[in-house]
Structure formats: structure tokens, C-alpha cells
């Protein structure tokens, strides 16, 4: 577990490094990739060992009975998150965004509205647009560097055509952990307006060591007949290429409604993804503890230095590695800050406008990288904004 080691990811089909020039104009030769949400660390030894065993037997046919994977998920959720998930509540999708599409298909129609608390993970927007759903943006209130939901304002946006609400918990970008009371208030809102609550908890295993993620199912038992949790081991264990998401629904009626949709939108689970998930959740606990401690130290270092740039503020976070930086007080326009970051610092980040309303003056930076590389990124940022007073 030497997270400090810089390993070259060129030539191994990495989206984050191999496609950065195409998407941001920053060359991987002398640039630093801080955009796509994966980590520049090799995954847990137990996962590599499981994949090695798989490669050696050489039979890559359809995956068999998923129950050992569901047991592993159930055990992990109980031990790590205090959430006693019955294995029969779990089904699989080729990732969380694919699962999101299935829930939308089951519960909404073209033209129906779906609420997003923006700024939020951009793929929700793309999926909703692609499926012809109306995006209802409820802008988070930035209360002195802490995002809060404004459910009073949301009352005015909810019409009869609005059918679902998406909670991103922990929140991306910015890494906020929602408190039980906030989740519970949102659940009450969903009950009042008869809305499906879709809780994306993909970042649940990236919580800093001194903090705790509260699963929506625990905070809001009243909403269990309208709650679908979408999650995965992909972010916490850096195995996103395994394309395996979990759809968890305690309510039997929900599972019955999802089943036919899954039959036509999904196939059997990905063999390699399932094998990686099982290894991660049964034998990856120590690695998870170590990586989360390392990420917190990265965040503290990054924040201390980046906030030294006049007018720049780093949103406090307790989870994820997706830092959210507010450039609004620099006196620069969003295009000017992104030019400095991409062209001068040669850093590929994610422009804030991608995340919807409220994101314009921000940019998102992924800090899941070996510390020596992070220090290089800090120095580049300090130079690129060195003239600010």
C-alpha cells in the first residue's frame, strides 16, 4: 500500500489519462489529470489476486449464481455502514448510471420531471436529457462554504409532472455528508409530494476516517416504499472499469416494478466486476482504511495551499476526493480561471459549469493521486495564479 508511488498509466487504456487531451486540451505528456473520478493508485492486493486467479483458469463465460457477491455486499453494509441489507434486496446493473436509467424507466415517462440538487454530478443531467425527462434543478444554498438543500424553495418547483428526486450522498462535487435530519426532511418531502427517492451512494466508502456516512435507508425508514439506493464498490475500491452497480430496494413492490425493466435493459452481471466486488468487500477493509486516511491528508494539504491563493476557497469536505473550488472572489471570469488551469498549470480538471446551476464559478479537482504529484499540482496552481493580490 505505497500510495506515494507515481505509476505511469499511459498505454493501459485509462480514460482519465488517455482521453484528457481530447476533452480538455491538456496533453498527458506534461499535464496532470485531475478530472475523471478514479484514483491513481493500484487497487487492493486482494482484488488483484482475485483477478489473477480468474485470468489463470481462463474460462470467461457468463457469471453464475450472484448470491456470494450479494452476501459480501450485505456483510459490508452491515459492518461498515450499520445497514442490515438483506441479500435479496440487491440486484445488479452495469454501473450506477445504468441503474439510474432503469429506475427512471420504471417510474417516470418522457416529459416527467426529476429533481436534482445542483451543482451535482454531471452524468445525471446527460442521462435525464437522453431519456427525455425534464430536469428540475433545485440549487443548493452555499451557506458559508457548506451546501444545504432548500426544501421550501423546492415546494414551488414541484408540479404534478415531477415524479422523482435524486439525492447524491455523499455529495459530488464537494464531498458533503448529509446529516440524518436533512435526509429525513427530504424523505418527508417525497412522501408529501408522492415522489420516488433515488439515493446515489456510490461515494459511501470514501468517507474520511473521522466521519460517518448515513445511508438514506437508515435516516428515512418512512420512505422505504419509495426509496431506491444505487451504489457500488467502484469508487471506494477504484474498480470502476468493472462496471458493476448495486440497486438496493427493501420494498418488494419496488423490486417487482424494476424486474421487467431490468430484463430488457440489462443482462447478466459482468464476470470480472462481480469477482472484484466480492474480493473488495470481503478482503479489502484494511486497504479501504488506508486509502481514506491518505485521501484526507491529501485534502488537508491541498486545501491549505490552494486557499493561500487570494480569493480562492476550497469547500470543506468529509468524503470523496473530488474537491470543489470557488474562484468567484478572484475577480476572474470562469473562462479565465479555466484557461489558467488548463493552459498555464497544464491541469485537466472538470469545469464547474458541467455540474449545473450554481457551478459556474467553481471547478472540480480530483486529488486521488500520489502525494508527490499532488505537490506538483499545487505548485503549478500557485504559479498560474501567482499574480493575484
Ligand X SMILES: Cc1ncc(COP(=O)(O)O)c(C=O)c1O
Per residue, what are the HEC states of 318-386? CECCEEEEECHHHCCCHHHHHHHHHHHCCEECEEHHHHCCCCCCEEEEECCCCHHHHHHHHHHHHHHCC
Angle at 297 between CA 292 and CA 302, to 5 degrees: 125
Angle at 95 between CA 94 and CA 96, to 5 degrees: 135
For cell 449545473, the residue is: 356
CA–CA separation, 160 vs 139, rounded Å?
A: 20
In the complex, what is the shortest distance from the CB of residue 168 to ligand X, in angstroms, rounded to a whole number? Answer: 5
- Burial (CB count within 10 angstroms: exposed 0-12, middle 13-18, buried 19+), residue 37: buried
In the complex, what is the shortest distance from the CB of residue 333 to ligand X, in angstroms, rounded to a whole number? Answer: 27
Does 102 interact with ligand X (rule: CB under 6 A)? Answer: no
CA–CA separation, 128 vs 100, rounded Å?
A: 9
Pick one of 40, 139, 200, 250: the residue that binds ligand X (CB under 6 A): 200
- Contact stretch for ligand X (CB under 6 A) within 11-19, 95-103, 333-341, 352-360: 95-103
Pick one of 28, 113, 242, 245: the residue that binds ligand X (CB under 6 A): 245
CA–CA separation, 36 vs 59, rounded Å?
A: 32
Does 276 interact with ligand X (rule: CB under 6 A)? Answer: no
Measured from each CB, the residue nearest to ligand X is 95
Nearer to ligand X by Cβ, of 246 and 287: the residue is: 246
Residue 7 · residue 40 · CB < 8 Å: yes
- Contact stretch for ligand X (CB under 6 A) within 5-13, 93-101, 297-305, 324-332: 93-101
For the window 4-23, what string marks contact with ligand X as x by the rule CB under 6 A?
--------------------
CA–CA separation, 110 vs 127, rounded Å?
A: 12
Number of other CB atoms surrounding residue 57 within 10 Å: 7
CA–CA separation, 43 vs 244, rounded Å?
A: 16
Tell me which H or E stretch contains 280.
Answer: helix 271-283
In the complex, what is the shortest distance from the CB of residue 164 to ligand X, in angstroms, rounded to a whole number? Answer: 15
Does 37 interact with ligand X (rule: CB under 6 A)? Answer: yes
For residue 148 the three cell numbers come to 444545504
C-alpha count within 13 angstroms, C-beta hemisphere, residue 266: 28
Tell me which H or E stretch contains 129.
Answer: helix 122-130
Pick one of 85, 96, 114, 154: the residue that binds ligand X (CB under 6 A): 96
Q: How far out from the chain centre does Cα 109 lie?
A: 25
Does 172 interact with ligand X (rule: CB under 6 A)? Answer: yes
In the complex, what is the shortest distance from the CB of residue 101 to ligand X, in angstroms, rounded to a whole number? Answer: 10
Nearer to ligand X by Cβ, of 368 and 384: the residue is: 368
Q: How far out from the chain centre does Cα 160 lie?
A: 29
Nearer to ligand X by Cβ, of 20 and 232: the residue is: 232
- Contact stretch for ligand X (CB under 6 A) within 23-31, 232-240, 262-270, 324-332: 232-240
Nearer to ligand X by Cβ, of 270 and 330: the residue is: 270
Does 95 interact with ligand X (rule: CB under 6 A)? Answer: yes
Pick one of 47, 69, 85, 97: the residue that binds ligand X (CB under 6 A): 97
Q: How many residues bind ligand X (CB under 6 A)?
A: 13
Does 202 interact with ligand X (rule: CB under 6 A)? Answer: yes
Does 317 interact with ligand X (rule: CB under 6 A)? Answer: no
Pick one of 118, 234, 338, 366: the residue that binds ligand X (CB under 6 A): 234
Nearer to ligand X by Cβ, of 31 and 245: the residue is: 245
Pick one of 39, 232, 249, 349: the residue that binds ligand X (CB under 6 A): 232
Nearer to ligand X by Cβ, of 199 and 330: the residue is: 199
Chain contacts with ligand X (rule: CB under 6 A): 37, 95-97, 121, 168, 172, 200, 202, 232, 234, 240, 245
Amino acid at each position: 500500500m505505497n500510495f506515494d508511488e507515481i505509476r505511469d498509466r499511459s498505454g493501459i487504456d485509462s480514460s482519465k489519462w488517455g482521453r484528457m487531451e481530447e476533452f480538455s486540451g491538456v496533453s498527458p505528456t506534461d499535464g496532470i489529470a485531475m478530472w475523471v473520478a478514479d484514483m491513481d493508485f493500484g487497487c487492493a492486493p486482494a482484488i488483484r489476486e482475485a483477478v489473477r486467479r480468474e485470468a489463470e483458469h481462463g474460462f470467461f463465460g457468463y457469471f453464475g449464481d450472484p448470491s456470494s457477491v450479494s452476501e459480501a455486499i450485505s456483510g459490508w453494509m452491515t459492518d461498515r455502514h450499520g445497514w442490515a441489507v438483506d441479500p435479496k434486496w440487491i440486484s445488479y446493473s452495469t454501473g450506477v448510471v445504468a441503474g439510474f436509467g432503469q429506475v427512471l424507466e420504471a417510474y417516470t415517462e418522457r416529459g416527467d420531471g426529476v429533481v436534482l440538487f445542483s451543482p451535482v454530478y454531471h452524468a445525471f443531467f446527460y442521462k435525464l436529457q437522453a431519456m427525455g425527462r425534464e430536469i428540475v434543478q433545485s440549487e443548493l444554498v452555499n451557506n458559508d462554504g457548506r451546501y444545504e438543500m432548500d426544501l421550501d424553495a423546492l415546494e414551488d418547483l414541484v408540479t404534478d409532472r415531477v415524479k422523482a428526486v435524486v439525492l447524491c450522498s455523499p455529495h459530488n462535487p464537494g464531498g458533503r455528508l448529509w446529516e440524518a435530519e436533512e435526509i429525513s426532511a427530504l424523505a418527508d418531502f417525497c412522501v408529501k409530494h408522492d415522489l420516488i427517492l433515488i439515493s446515489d451512494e456510490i461515494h459511501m466508502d470514501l468517507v474520511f476516517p473521522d466521519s460517518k456516512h448515513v445511508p438514506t435507508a437508515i435516516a428515512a425508514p418512512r420512505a422505504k416504499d419509495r426509496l431506491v439506493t444505487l451504489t457500488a464498490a467502484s469508487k471506494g475500491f477504484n474498480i470502476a472499469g468493472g462496471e458493476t452497480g448495486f440497486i438496493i430496494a427493501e420494498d418488494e413492490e419496488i423490486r417487482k416494478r424494476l424486474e421487467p425493466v431490468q430484463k430488457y435493459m440489462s443482462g447478466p452481471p459482468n464476470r470480472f466486476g462481480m469477482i472484484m466486488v466480492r474480493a473488495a468487500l470481503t478482503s479489502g477493509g484494511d486497504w479501504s482504511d488506508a486509502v481514506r486516511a491518505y485521501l484526507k491528508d491529501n485534502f488537508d494539504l491541498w486545501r491549505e495551499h490552494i486557499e493561500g491563493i487570494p480569493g480562492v476557497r476550497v469547500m470543506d469536505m468529509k468524503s470523496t476526493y473530488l474537491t470543489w473550488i470557488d474562484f468567484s472572489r478572484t475577480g476572474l471570469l470562469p473562462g479565465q480561471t479555466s484557461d489558467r488551469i488548463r493552459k498555464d498549470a497544464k491541469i485537466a480538471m472538470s469545469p464547474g459549469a458541467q455540474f449545473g446551476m450554481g457551478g459556474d464559478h467553481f471547478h472540480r479537482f480530483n486529488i486521488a493521486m500520489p502525494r508527490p504529484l499532488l505537490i506538483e499540482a499545487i505548485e503549478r496552481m500557485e504559479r498560474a495564479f501567482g499574480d493575484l493580490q
